[in-house]
Structure 1
């Protein structure tokens, strides 16, 4: 006794539409650009003058190969950003937005207290 074969599915039913054919509204496009620019500006300003920038400055001056340092530093920043994005996506799936807000607020308060304690001891 043989088992019945699965029904044939026409090839047209398996076709996947290219991403550019997916309709997006103007408000969705505006939201994507708004998110992009706010992320860019926030990260750009946060990274200005930090230890990463100083390290790349020193590595570039020491190595004499600024483009190699640029490629290495850029790749490292992309990799760390990827980790942050993936971790954020995972946390958004397992925790409620309110829990994330409370946790982020508490973490920032702890960091602020530690920084204030460090400054006061000077």
Structure 2
């Protein structure tokens, strides 16, 4: 249960202001079929995060157990610093719009998540908790918790949120995960 809750909470917080959340806003403005957008976010995230969790599990099994705790903690500290850097959207995403709401969202979300903070967090969480299923479910729920309201609100502007405070809070959470990893 700890893996599920930590994965859900950390990814939901890390996703606020992330490029995929900005992408969700752009797609919600572009397409009226909110169900297709949300379904595609779910599918793309499940596949992407399942691959990331598997990599995390594989890497931690490959790594010497004496070092794994330090590597995982170091990764949490790195993510804490990374979330302080705001994301920006690419301008060439509109070439996928011809695929419709589901197709464009699926492809754009899948691509946007590659190497993204939340994907890296999924790798690290899977390495820490050794629970692929709960980490995948948790990180996917975290993505949905952060993105579904943006899709449903559509034109709600992210600039109304205290982004610097949110990013700093997220950095603190990941740093605390790093400290907790070192302590336990």
TM-score scaled by structure 1? 0.55
**Alignment correspondent of 2:5:** 37
The 3-state SS of whatever aligns with 1:64 is: coil
Check if 1:69 corresponds to 2:40: no
Q: Which runs of 5+ in 2 are unaligned?
A: 86-184
Q: How far 1:99 moved relative to its partner?
A: 3.0
Counterpart among 51, 57, 61 of residue 25 in structure 2: 57
Q: How far 1:66 moved relative to its partner?
A: 1.2
Counterpart among 57, 68, 73 of residue 89 in structure 1: 57
Q: How far 1:38 moved relative to its partner?
A: 1.2
How many equivalent pairs are there?
Answer: 83
Q: How far 1:92 moved relative to its partner?
A: 1.6
Structure possessing the higher relative contact order (Cα contacts under 8 Å, 6 or more residues apart): 2
The structure with more radius of gyration: 1
Q: State the distance in 1 between where 2:56 and 2:15 align.
A: 19
TM-score scaled by structure 2? 0.38
Q: 1:108 to 1:73 in 2, by over 3 A?
A: same
Q: State the distance in 1 between where 2:27 and 2:61 align.
A: 39
Check if 1:99 corresponds to 2:67: yes
Q: 1:106 to 1:41 in 2, by over 3 A?
A: closer
Q: 1:58 to 1:44 in 2, by over 3 A?
A: same
Aligned-residue RMSD, C-alpha: 2.8
Q: 1:98 to 1:112 in 2, by over 3 A?
A: farther
Q: How far 1:91 moved relative to its partner?
A: 0.8
